Structure formats: structure tokens, C-alpha cells
Structure 1
Amino acid sequence: MPKSSKKKKDKAADFSKAKLKLGKGKQTPTNVVDTSFKARSIALPSQSISHNTQDATPTTRRKLTFDDLTSHLKHYNANTRKDAIFGLRELLEEHPALIDLHLTAIVNSCVRLIGDEDAGVRKSLLSFMSWFLSRVPQEDILPHSPLLLLFTTSAQTHIFPEIRVDAVRFLDLYLEHIPTVVTQGWAQGTSGHGKRVLEGYIGLLNAGTVYGEGGDKGPIQATSTASVVLSPTSKLVVLRSLARFLEHALSISSNSTVIHGATQTIPTWFFSSSLRSEEAFSNFDSLLQPASTSKDTRLWEPEFDIDSSNDDYVVSGVSRKTPSPWSLHDLSDINLEDIRSNNDNLAGESSMEYAYIMHLARVLQSTLISTFLDCAPTAFHPSGQSSETELNMVVTVSEIVRRLYATILQRAAKNGKSRDISLEDLSAFIGHMSPYFPFSTYGSLASKRDIKVEQAFQDLNVVYSELTSLLVLAATSESTSSSSRTTRNQRKHPGSKNKSTTLAVPSSQVDRVTQYVVHLLRGELPTGTNTQNALPRPVTSASYIALIPTIWALINDQNLSRSLDLLNAVVDHATNTSSTSSVKRHTLEFLGRLVLLESEPSVQPNIQRTFLASGSKIYRDWILHLPKTAWELGANNLPSTEIIFRLLLRLIQRRSSIIDLETLNGIRTRLVPYFMITHPTRGKLPGPFTKLPIGSITRRLALDLVSTMCTFATFRSEHVDGDGHDQTDPLVIAVNEATNDTIDEAYWISVSTKQHL
């Protein structure tokens, strides 16, 4: 029944007419074919069909222009931003002219990625900036440095610690190319970004972020709100960058420059306490300064003509410059009050900076000690199972301590400021290092013969020796000033007690440092080193410079035998060092100043002179070695050659007791081959003197030296011509041959005639 009714309804539906409803249109039949269509555009951005072949706009291999790349640097996709950085470097490498043309646009686009949340983008940008800054002159990048530092210091305080660590890596690039801008205002904070950069370092190290705390308000405490502890690798990145920052900041604040290589000069600040006044120290410091590297060099003229165009001259080997004459009107315009005010401001800024450095050292003290104590047991484990990260961390922390306290104690000695707290902090840090000294390789670590590890241990030993010498010099100075204060106090108030205390350095500690320095200079391994696989490392230029204050402090020791042992090692090292080594110049300058100190009229009466009196024979042997060094140097190292001639000239002019008649004759004999060589078969050959630049200071100094020595000759022949030349003297004959028919012949005749009158 139901089936038949359903069939009837279906048949009726086929022939039924649909009823139309109100508002409804006529329905489309079900069998109608839809013929409507839609058109869409197809984009082909990377196809050559869409580009004008006549356009000469520089593009990458993916046909992206500079504008395309800068727009992609703002893309929401991290991979697109990273690809844009690679494309930008590709475009600039192919078309270097675009760097100068779009320098501002490049910097403005890149700085926004310093704090990018994608690690790959930051890594790519760091690589690009390293390449980019090395190709842009410093004077061109300086106008953009505020923008670079603004975004970088902002990234230093980012909520994500990995972004803050990467910001430190960007600061390393800036310290390499624009260090002055990075450290500007680091102590005063009045201008520049230096203060913000330093605060970023301190915040990352959890050493405190508020610089106003501490000092007179109580002990320094860590006040950083950072709750994330850095990994050892990230902490090493921050510490190394802080060490570079302090290196540049402290050198700039002391009006010196950070120079690397053979042109670096040795430190001389420790000589100031041995001389009577600042002026005497300044004159002593300039005695051996090479004039061949200075732009203000002046050649000596027998008769100076003020109207001549050449107003440069050198008198007795010392570079001088005549000031411009002042008129009475000019003098009347000078305001003495302004000069006094300016000097007071400079003194005030120096005092403020000194206080700030001391406060910074106090802020970092706990962090540096805790880092050393955390890493030292692993770095110096007897089994040798130590990682390179912990060892580098210890080296970096020690470098920071050395830079801070060397500056503090040097300025305190110069300005007579208090340094009791600094001495206590330095002594505490040295106390933690002492159980591991001398630092050397052990066990499996020694068997690996890792050059980097051995160099790190040597650097640690040098730093420890320098810190100990700073403590010795400061303690000696404090003891001297304390005794003088006690004497004055006893005169004013008989029976009163002196309340000042000084830190005494243990004699055993001084012995260990002396033994290490002697072993290092003689090329021997320090005590306790595994001698089976280890080999002694040569002293580098930086290590020798760092050791100079240590050597000075130890050779002035009251223990005469210990002092002479070290002095012998210093002289032997200076004699045996190759003339082509970068250390040779430093040995010449340091030993030359030690020898000159013996005849210096402004030396303090209470200076320890035993090393000078007992070392005269040692110094004479080294002085007789100098003509050979000058012959080996030839024209390859003019500053070192100039130091040799200046030193010999000064000693002879001062009639130093070290230059006796036998030594003088030895110098004269050894100088003959420098001017003319007599070969058994080839006859007379020109010496290294003829290879020196014509008319140079070095040539004139060599002729001045010979002329001065002829005055103090042990033999004077009757064969003297009208010009004062002794024709039987081999040295005079050699000089005559070397200067014959040259521009220096007239100069040689004039100085030799004047000396013999």
C-alpha cells in the first residue's frame, strides 16, 4: 500500500507546475549549462618577461634591487629578512659604489634588526656588519654612530637574554672600529653612550645596575633585577667585551692610545716616583722617544736661519719646536682667571673619574672573585680535564682586574690620592690566585700540546706577576709615605702613634714571582710543569710590556742576590733576542732607561741604586752588543736603530760611569763595519749606514755619535787635517768613505769640525 501511493506522487510531480512565491524569481531549470567565467591576473615577479631589459639598475642574482632588499628587511617573515641581508651583501660586493650612495639608508635599515627576535637574523646581521664596517671609513661611519649605539644599548636591556648577549657582540664590532664613540662619557656620563654601555655590561653580569649605591652608603650589593643566569659561553662573551671596553676607556682617559704590534711603546709611569718632579719625569721620558715616527721632527742645522723655509731642527738629538712669537696685544687678551678655572675644571674631572674607577672596581669586585672561584677548580684541575671556556674566563677576569687596579694605583701614585681600599681588594684577589701560581699544564691537558691553552697559562702567569708588582710598588710607596707621616707626627706630637697601616707582600710570594720571571726570560719551563710534553714558549711583545713594571719592582728589591739574578736574566734575554723580533725594540728602550737612570741628575736620593752599581759589568756587555744590533737592523727598523744611537749619544754626553775608556773603544771598533766593510776578496763594501734614508734623523744621529766619540777618543794622532779629522782613525776613515759625495758629507764635516775645535 505505501509503495503504490509513493509511486503515484512521484509521477504527479513530473507534470505538476511549481507555484511562484512572492519575491521569488523564476527558477533556473536543472539542466541549464552555466556559461559564466572569471579572469585572474598571474604575477611573475622573478621572470625576465616583467623587467625592462634597458634598465641598468644594479640587481642581485634573484633580480632584486636595493629598494627591494631594504623593503624585505622589514618583512614579517624571518627567512625573508635573513635572505634580504645576504642579498644586500651580494649587491654591495658586486657594486661597491652603492655603499657611499646609500650609506644612510643601509644603516637605518640594519639597525632595526639588532634587536630582532629571530636568532638567525641577528647572526646574519652580525656577519654583515662585520663585513660592512671594515669597508666604510671611520669618518664616514661616525655621523651614524649615535643611531647604532642607540639601538644597540636598547638591545642590551631587552627582555630576552640571548638578544642582550648578541648586542654585546655588536658592541665588540664598534669597539674595533669606533672605540672612542663607544666609550665617550663612560665615567662622567654627561654626553655619549659610554655610561649606558657600561651599565648594560654590569646588568648582564648581575653585578648591580644602580651606580649611586655603595660607596659611603655601605657595602656594594648586587641590585640587578635580571633573574636569568648566563651560560658560561655567554658570560665569557660579556666578560671579554667588558675587558675590551675598559682597555679603550682607560687608555683614552689617560691620554694614550691603544697600539698593537712593534710600534707600541713601553710603560714608563713607574719611573715617576724615582724623580724629583713631574717636569723631570717628562724630560726623562722623552730621552729615548724615536723622532722618526713623529711628524714634528726637525733637523739640526749648524747655523739656524729664522727666515729660512725649513724651521725644523734637532738640537743634541732632542726634537724641539719653536713656539710662535706672541705680541703684547695677544698677552693682554689672556684672562688668567679663565686659565685657572680651566685647570680647576680639568683637575675636578680627573678626580671625579678616579673616584668613579675606584667605585667601578668595588662594584665588580664580588662578581670577579666569584667568577674566578667558580672556574678555577675546573680550569686548574690536576687531571687536566678542563674546558677551554673556564680557562678563558679566568684569563679574562684577571685581565679586567689588572686594567682596573693598574689604573687606580698609577693615578694614586701620581696624584697622591688614598688607595687603602684598593690595596685591600687587590690583595684579596691575588690571595685567591696564589695557590695556583705558577699556572701550568698538567696531566692529559699537557699531553695534548694545545698552543692556545699554553698561551693562556703564560698570560695568567704574566698577569699575576704584574698584579704582585703593583702591590709591591704601592706597598713600598705607602710605607715611605707612612714613615714620613710618622716622623712629622712625632715632631708635632711626641709619643703619639701612627694609625695608618700598610700591606706587606710576603717574601715567599715575591720569590716565586722572581723565579717565574727568570725562567720565562731564559726560556725555561716554570716549576711544576709537566716537562714530558711541554715546551717553553717565547716571550711575546705584549707579555714583555706587561712584565716591565714587574721587573722594575723586583730589581729594586732589598734582596741584592735576587735582584742581580733577575737583572742578569733581563740582560741575557735582551742580548739573545733576535734583531728581527718585535720584542727587540722594547728591550732596547727598557734597558736603555735603566742605564740612563744611573746618570740622571734628578733622581731621588733615596732610590735603590744597588742594581745599578752592581750591574755595571752586565750593562757594559749589553752596550757593546748594540753596534751589532744596529748592523743587523740595517734600514728595516728605523725607530729601534734611532733608540740605539740616542742611548749611546746620551751616555757619552753625560760621561756616564758605565761608559769607561775600554767600553768606548769597544763601541768605536764595532761601529766601523756599520759605515764601511772591508772584505778580504771583494774589498771595501758600503755598510748599513748607506741604506738609511738620505737626510733622515737616524743618519744624523749616527754622525753625531761618531763625532762625539772622537772628542773622548783614547788616542789622538797628530795626523789631523784642517777640518779636525783624524786620518788614522779607522772609524773616521769609514765615515769619510760612507759620506763621500753624498748630501750628508757637509753635515759630517760641520759637526766633526765643531767637536774638534
Structure 2
Amino acid sequence: MPKSAKKRKDKAADFSKAKLKLGKGKQLASNAIDTSFKARSIALPSQSIAQEKDGNTPTTKRRLTFNDLITHAKHYSASTRKDALLGLRELLEANWDLVETCLTTLIAACVRLIGDEDASVRKALLAFFAWLLPRIPQGDLMPHSPMLLLFTTSAQTHIFPEIRVDAIRFLDLFLEQIPQAVIAGWNEDNNGHGARILEGYLGILNAGTKFGETDGPLKATSTASVILTPASKLIVLRSLSTFLQVSLTSFGGPSSSKTTFDPANSLHTWYLASSFARHTEYEAFERLLQPCAPTPLRHRIWQEEVDPEDGDDDFLLAAAPITSEPFSLQELTDVSSAIGAVEFETSDNLDASLVAHLARTLHSTLIATFLDCAPAVFSPSGSPSETQVQLVLAVGEIVRSLYGVIMQVPTPARGNNPKTASEELGAILGYMTPYFPFRTSGARDIKTRRVSQVEQAFQDLNLIFCELTSLLVLKTHTDSARPTRRAKLRQGHKSAAAGGTDALAIQTQRVSAYILQLLRGEASAAGQLGRTLAPATYAALLPAIWALLNNGSAHHQEASSAILHATIEHSMKTSSKSGLKRLTLEFVARLVLVCGLDSDFVARALNRTFGRDKGEDEKIEDWVAHLPQVLWELGASNLHATEASIIIQVLLRVLQRQSRMVHTPKTTAAVRSKLVPYFSMKHPARGQVAGPYSKLLGARLRRLALDLVATLGADNELGDAVERAIQGTDEVEYWMQVSAMAGVEQITLNVCR
């Protein structure tokens, strides 16, 4: 066969000579070796031998200066940016003075990494900020807050969900260091940082709304259908809870449970405000028991006539004539105003409709989160994850922050939404009620450390439930005291989840039983021991205790009386030197005073009045009679000087009220006899011994005690004890003046300026 054309062509190609084309050079042989080369310059800024560096310039172990690290923070490599942050911490730890001169450059370079797409860089930046920011004074950090918050709010709306979640972590850090800058403008329609941060929270939760539009349907602002993992949702809800607590606490909202409770501070009795017709009267009442600041004040004896040209204008004395009628709140208000009392800010600056709209926006999200986690968390045989437990706690804290303000401040019309704040709160409590009181199961096989964390979370949830129930009870009483036509029409429209009045009665009954159990120190479950209440726990229970005491429903009178007896017994049994004693004294004293005020100055919402039960009156008398014993047990220690001052002021105020419950001959005689050892006592072996009064430091407290004796009226025994205690001291002349006027004028000297 003839060969194919392809084979003939291939055979001829081996002996053919390539034709050169015009402009083409000679082709190289196939076995030719290319010996050409190219040279390129390599930039090594950290290893350059051509650049001379100052030996005095601070560097890291890798010999990188501050400027080198700032340059590396902008590098395209993620590992280089991360190493730059680690190098900055190393450099600043050894040379902290660089922060004072280079803080602006440092912040400007670092804020750009808040939205970095590499997770390791964001984690390194968060650790660096957590180390750096607490070491910088807040005054130096505040000028840089706009830049920090600008990049953080930008990261909140990033396309990647993980960057949004990390932006929340940065906000948590900023809320600790510069909280006022973070919340600035959150309730104003001026597109401030606070408003943008709040919109970012709502957007990532897919509960977005155009904040500020209180009318009409809710408008979602997040178009991303991102489903957060439980861990990510916990980060967002925790941060939102902190944001709301910081924002709303200054407007009368409940304080954060995360905030360290200081028993040295006076009680925040916001729950008593609804018992007064006007807020100014509530403020005047609160100032009655405010502890006096230990300032070096001068004293002056009261005189009927004073020369106006004596030049002592800084002295001011308040006196009121003694009468058979009890002091009215208006008289006490005039006294407090005369001695230079400071007006407190009210919550009128807050638009409560804005908070109500926010609560309504988050309502479905909060309920859905609770219902998703509750079956696993409160299962008697299950072992819930820490994330689920903390999610339920975060929901409770957000609800408390929002409705703690809404239920106290009168809100205007809430648009076309038929639900009210009471119904919304009742719905949430309706879902929580089947699980209350929240407690751990002893059969759970979990580590001891986790058990303590879960128990603490459940205790916080119990306190939140009690406080929310108290808000609903107080609001119900206030509305019933001031009924309107609109309120009457809503009586038949009850929330399905809450069950209306029946549900509130069930919740009140359960809260009463739980509080009685805590006050009596009883075990919460079989096989457990009762525990002593901590000061923070007791302070958190007070709103619920007041609401239960003020519950005027006929079927709750027995439970209300039991709560009163348990509260007073708990106050009397608490150790005198316990940190809880002062709180119990302040609360019971306010309870006695506010329930004895004239009806002209107390709102009609106040339903409790003493005297309907003889046993209640006897309990109050016993409580007043035990105060001198507490005063003696505290002694003259500086650590308990404030407690002693409060006890004396409590006795003064209660006696000045001339209440028939504590102004009986039996009570006054008991107080006089128990005050004798405080001034002087007779020891079987040592003879006459000076009491704790002689060791008191400061003339203010000593004269305050003499005012108490003068107000009480000293008999022979008490008068002799006082004279022995003040013999040879500067208080002799003062006591002569006070005791001489005790039968003519009812005075209140040196209580507070």
C-alpha cells in the first residue's frame, strides 16, 4: 500500500530547511542553553544595613520600632498584621511613655483592623484593646471615642456575620471603658453613635426597626437572613442587655445585676415613688434617711432671735413646733429644703414611648429565645448547656431593663398596637410562670464549678421574676387607683399567655411563697440547707416585698401580713454587725414612715395601712424597741459609724412622726431603758462604766445622739446616764441647751445640712 500523505510529510520535514522571513532572526537550536539573567532589588526594611537607626529608640526583640509596627499593621499579610499587634503590646509594656505621645497614631492604625476579614487578626486586636484601654485614663480616651465607634458601627453592618459578632465583642469592651460615649444619642433621632449601635443590635437579631418611628408597623432594616448560632446569639443578647442597663439606669431603671453591690450605699427605693402624688414629695421623703456626710461642719445653738449682722450666714437651723398632731410630709419637705437639700433628676427627660416601641420590637425575639431554651434548661432530668442557661438569663435581664422603665414612667399613646406594656410583660411572665421558682436538680451529673454557675444563674432568674411581678402588681394598683375610660374598656381584653388577673394572682402567690422561704432561711429543695441572704439578694427582693405588702386585694391580705411579719422578724434576727443589717433597717424604717404619712401627700395607689391587725402593730413596736440594742452592739467602731448614724436618724424620724404605733408609753419606755447602757452602765465588779457613746468619734454623731434623747424625753435614769457620759466634754453646754428646750420646742439639730 502507498504510504499516507502524513507520513511522507513527516519524513520530508527532517531534511527540509526552514525559510527565514523578513525581520526574523535565526532560530536557536533546540539544545541551546539560555545564559541570560535578570536582577531585581529586594526591600528588607527591618534588615537594611544602609539605614542607620538611633540606638536610643525603643524596639522589640525583633528590633522593630513603633513606626515599623504601625507600618506592619497595614501589611497585606494577615500574619504580619497579627504579629504587629503582638509587637505593639511588647513594646508598650516596656515603654509605656510612648502611649502619651503616640496615642493618636496608635488608635488610628488599630481601629482599621476592627473589621479585618481575618479572624486571628480581630482576635489579636480584641486582646490588645482589652489590655490597653483599661490602662488609659478615661479623659484621654474620650477624644478618640468617635473614631473607635465609627469603625465599630461599620463592622456591625458588615456582610460577613462573624465580623458583626466580633464587633459586638468590641462594643462590650467599650461599654466597660467609655460607656457614656457608647450610649450617647441612643434615644435621639440625630443619627448619633448610640442610635446606630442600637440599630446594629436589632439588625443582627433580625428584629430591626427604624428607631424613632413610634407609630405604624415595624420596619425591618436587616435584609440578611442570617441565623445566629446559640453562642453568637448569647454574645449579642448579653451586649444588648449591658447597653440597655447603662442607658436606662440613669432614667430610674433597675440597676444591673452584674454591677457589684455596695452595701455602704443607701437603698435605691424607686418602687416607693408610685406611693406619692408628686415626685418632689418622694424625693423629700428619701432625704429623711440619707446618711450624713462626715464633713467638718460647725454647730450653733438655736436661738429665738438672731442678729442678721453677725456674719454667720452659713449656719442654718430648722425647727418645728411640737404638737399633738403628727408631722406632715409638707413640713418635713420644708425642713429638708431649708437645710440645703439637693434636688434629684427625674426621668422626665426620657421619652418612654421610645422605650415601649423598642420593647415591642424585641418582644417576639425574646419570647422565641426563651421558648427555645426553657425546655432543656428547666428539665428536671436534663443537663443544660451553659450557653442555654445564660441565654435565658440574658432574656430576663433585657426584659427587666426595658419594663423597669416603662412601668414606672407614664407613656403616651403607643400607636395602633392594641397591646399595652402590662399585657406584653404579662405575656412574658406567663411563659416563665410554669418553671418558677427556678432551681437546679440534684440528679444532674455535672461538675461542681458548673453547678455553682447554674445555681447563681437560676437565683438571678428568680430575683428577676420577682421584680417583674412586682412591676406588674404596682402598675395594676396604680391603674386601678386612677381608672380611665380606656382602661375600663381594656379590662375584658386580657393577654392569652398571661391569663389576665388570674395569672397575676398565681404569680403573686408563688412569689410570696418564694420570698417567705428566703426570709425565713428555709431550704429551697429537699436535701439542701437554708442559706443566709446576701445584701445584693435582699436589695433585689425589696421591690417585690413592697409590691406584696401593698397588694390591696382581699384574698391576698393574709399573704401580705405574713410577708410583713417575716420581713420584720428577719430584720430583728439579722446580726447587728452584718452587712445586711443596715439594709433591713433602712427598708423597715421607710415602710413604717411611708405607711404613716398623711393621705394628702400619698397617692391613692398606697393600699397598706397599719392598724388593721394588732399583731402587725406589735411587730413594729418590737422592731423600734430593739434599735437601741443594735446601737449598743455596734459600739464606737469607725467601721460601723454610718450604721449608728442611720439608727439614730431612724429613731429620730419615727419619734418625730409621733405615730400611735411607736409612740405608746410602752414603746417609749422600752427605748429609754435600752438607751441607758449606751451612755453609761453599772458593772457588778467594775462599778460605773462608760458606754459606747463616750468613744464615738466626731462631735456630729455625739450631738445627734443627744438630740435623740431630747426628742425622746429623758427620765431620771437616762438623764443621769447622759450626764455621766458627757461630763468633762464639750457637749455639756450643748446638752444643757437641748434638754432645756426639750419641753418647749421639738427640735431637729445637726441631722444633715
**Residues 144 and 535 (structure 1), Cα distance of their counterparts in 2 relative to 1, 3 Å cut:** farther
SS in 2 for 1:301: coil
Is 1:652 equivalent to 2:655 in the alignment? yes
Q: Which residue of 2 aligns with 1:65?
A: 65
Q: Which residue of 1 aligns with 2:546?
A: 552
Q: Superposed, which structure 2 residues align to 1:697-708 within 5 Å? A: 698-708=701-711
Q: Which amino acid aligns with 1:279?
A: T
Contact persistence 1:368–1:397 (CA under 8 A)? yes
**Residues 203 and 416 (structure 1), Cα distance of their counterparts in 2 relative to 1, 3 Å cut:** closer
503-512 or 192-201, which deviates more: 503-512
Q: Deviations over 1:420-442 (max 9, x none)?
A: 61111111111101111111112
Q: Which amino acid aligns with 2:93?
A: E
**Residues 574 and 63 (structure 1), Cα distance of their counterparts in 2 relative to 1, 3 Å cut:** farther
**Residues 264 and 407 (structure 1), Cα distance of their counterparts in 2 relative to 1, 3 Å cut:** farther
**Residues 501 and 123 (structure 1), Cα distance of their counterparts in 2 relative to 1, 3 Å cut:** same
SS in 2 for 1:445: coil
Is 1:540 equivalent to 2:537 in the alignment? no
Aligned-pair CA distance for 1:197: 0.7
Q: Which amino acid aligns with 2:404?
A: A
Q: Which residue of 1 aligns with 2:747?
A: none
Q: Which residue of 2 aligns with 1:433?
A: 432
Contact persistence 1:383–1:443 (CA under 8 A)? no
Q: Superposed, which structure 2 residues align to 1:332-347 within 5 Å? A: none
Q: Which residue of 2 aligns with 1:226?
A: 224
Is 1:239 equivalent to 2:237 in the alignment? yes
Q: Structure 2: how far apart are the matches of 1:133 and 1:119?
A: 21
Q: Which residue of 2 aligns with 1:671?
A: 675
Q: Which residue of 2 aligns with 1:15?
A: none
Q: Structure 2: how far apart are the matches of 1:425 and 1:207?
A: 17
**Residues 628 and 99 (structure 1), Cα distance of their counterparts in 2 relative to 1, 3 Å cut:** farther
Aligned-pair CA distance for 1:79: 2.1
Aligned-pair CA distance for 1:211: 3.4
Q: Which residue of 2 aligns with 1:444?
A: 443
SS in 2 for 1:85: helix
Q: Structure 2: how far apart are the matches of 1:446 and 1:535?
A: 20
Q: Deviations over 1:85-114 (max 9, x none)?
A: 222222222233222222222221221111
Q: Which residue of 2 aligns with 1:752?
A: 739
Q: Deviations over 1:192-222 (max 9, x none)?
A: 3111111011111111243367x6434x475
Q: Structure 2: how far apart are the matches of 1:191 and 1:745?
A: 66
Q: Which residue of 2 aligns with 1:423?
A: 422
**Identity %, equivalent residues:** 44
Q: Which residue of 2 aligns with 1:112?
A: 112
Q: Which amino acid aligns with 1:553?
A: A
**Residues 153 and 676 (structure 1), Cα distance of their counterparts in 2 relative to 1, 3 Å cut:** farther
Q: Superposed, which structure 2 residues align to 1:342-353 within 5 Å? A: 350=350, 353=351
Q: Which residue of 1 aligns with 2:367?
A: 369
Q: Structure 2: how far apart are the matches of 1:45 and 1:264?
A: 56
Is 1:390 equivalent to 2:393 in the alignment? no
Is 1:643 equivalent to 2:646 in the alignment? yes
Q: Deviations over 1:37-63 (max 9, x none)?
A: 9999996946999876x7322333333
Contact persistence 1:560–1:611 (CA under 8 A)? no
Q: Structure 1: how far apart are the matches of 2:42 and 2:435?
A: 76
Q: Structure 2: how far apart are the matches of 1:37 and 1:280?
A: 90
Q: Structure 1: how far apart are the matches of 2:702 and 2:253?
A: 31
Q: Which residue of 2 aligns with 1:661?
A: 665
Q: Which residue of 1 aligns with 2:729?
A: 741
Q: Structure 1: how far apart are the matches of 2:98 and 2:736?
A: 59
364-373 or 203-212, which deviates more: 203-212
Contact persistence 1:313–1:320 (CA under 8 A)? no
Q: Structure 2: how far apart are the matches of 1:171 and 1:44?
A: 36
Q: Structure 1: how far apart are the matches of 2:557 and 2:399?
A: 30
Contact persistence 2:253–2:404 (CA under 8 A)? no
Aligned-pair CA distance for 1:612: 5.6
Contact persistence 2:231–2:387 (CA under 8 A)? yes
SS in 2 for 1:357: helix
Q: Structure 2: how far apart are the matches of 1:379 and 1:221?
A: 33
Contact persistence 2:353–2:414 (CA under 8 A)? no
Q: Deviations over 1:239-275 (max 9, x none)?
A: 1111111111112344998774224443433333333
Q: Which residue of 1 aligns with 2:476?
A: 475
TM normalised by structure 1 equals: 0.79
Q: Which residue of 1 aligns with 2:142?
A: 142
Partner residue of 1:567 out of 536, 549, 564: 564
Q: Which amino acid aligns with 1:376?
A: A
78-87 or 105-114, which deviates more: 78-87
**Residues 37 and 466 (structure 1), Cα distance of their counterparts in 2 relative to 1, 3 Å cut:** closer
SS in 2 for 1:412: coil
Q: Superposed, which structure 2 residues align to 1:147-186 within 5 Å? A: 147-186=147-186
User: May I ask how many residue pairs the two structures share in their alignment?
Assistant: 668
Aligned-pair CA distance for 1:69: 2.1
**Residues 149 and 733 (structure 1), Cα distance of their counterparts in 2 relative to 1, 3 Å cut:** same
Contact persistence 2:390–2:457 (CA under 8 A)? yes
Q: Structure 1: how far apart are the matches of 2:40 and 2:170?
A: 51
**Residues 76 and 752 (structure 1), Cα distance of their counterparts in 2 relative to 1, 3 Å cut:** farther
Contact persistence 2:549–2:608 (CA under 8 A)? no
Q: Which amino acid aligns with 2:582?
A: R
Q: Structure 2: how far apart are the matches of 1:627 and 1:385?
A: 51
Q: Which residue of 2 aligns with 1:93?
A: 93
Q: Structure 1: how far apart are the matches of 2:149 and 2:45?
A: 41
SS in 2 for 1:465: helix
Q: Structure 1: how far apart are the matches of 2:546 and 2:234?
A: 33
Q: Structure 2: how far apart are the matches of 1:179 and 1:516?
A: 35
Q: Which amino acid aligns with 1:652?
A: L
229-238 or 609-618, which deviates more: 609-618
Q: Structure 2: how far apart are the matches of 1:689 and 1:292?
A: 19
Q: Superposed, which structure 2 residues align to 1:686-705 within 5 Å? A: 687-689=691-693, 692-696=696-700, 698-705=701-708
Q: Which amino acid aligns with 2:639?
A: N
Q: Deviations over 1:583-639 (max 9, x none)?
A: 333222211101112432233577434456532211222223323433454321444
Q: Which amino acid aligns with 2:75?
A: H
Q: Which amino acid aligns with 1:539?
A: L
Is 1:504 equivalent to 2:501 in the alignment? yes
**Residues 75 and 685 (structure 1), Cα distance of their counterparts in 2 relative to 1, 3 Å cut:** farther
**Residues 181 and 595 (structure 1), Cα distance of their counterparts in 2 relative to 1, 3 Å cut:** same
Q: Structure 1: how far apart are the matches of 2:733 and 2:445?
A: 63
Q: Structure 2: how far apart are the matches of 1:137 and 1:378?
A: 44
Q: Structure 2: how far apart are the matches of 1:306 and 1:94?
A: 64
Q: Which amino acid aligns with 1:663?
A: T
TM normalised by structure 2 equals: 0.79
Q: Which residue of 1 aligns with 2:518?
A: 520
Q: Which residue of 1 aligns with 2:594?
A: 597
Contact persistence 1:678–1:684 (CA under 8 A)? yes
Aligned-pair CA distance for 1:447: 7.3
Contact persistence 2:383–2:445 (CA under 8 A)? no
Higher relative contact order (CA 8 A, sep 6+): 2
CA-based RMSD of the aligned residues comes to 3.9
Q: Which residue of 2 aligns with 1:311?
A: 314
Is 1:193 equivalent to 2:180 in the alignment? no
**Residues 163 and 320 (structure 1), Cα distance of their counterparts in 2 relative to 1, 3 Å cut:** same
Q: Structure 2: how far apart are the matches of 1:690 and 1:131?
A: 51
Q: What stretches of structure 1 of length at least 5 have no aligned partner?
A: 1-21, 25-33, 325-342, 490-496, 718-725
Q: What stretches of structure 2 of length at least 5 have no aligned partner?
A: 1-22, 26-34, 320-331, 493-499, 745-753
Q: Which amino acid aligns with 2:151?
A: F
Q: Deviations over 1:697-741 (max 9, x none)?
A: x444223212322xx34x358xxxxxxxx8x6324423x15xx43
Q: Structure 2: how far apart are the matches of 1:37 and 1:169?
A: 50
**Residues 86 and 448 (structure 1), Cα distance of their counterparts in 2 relative to 1, 3 Å cut:** closer
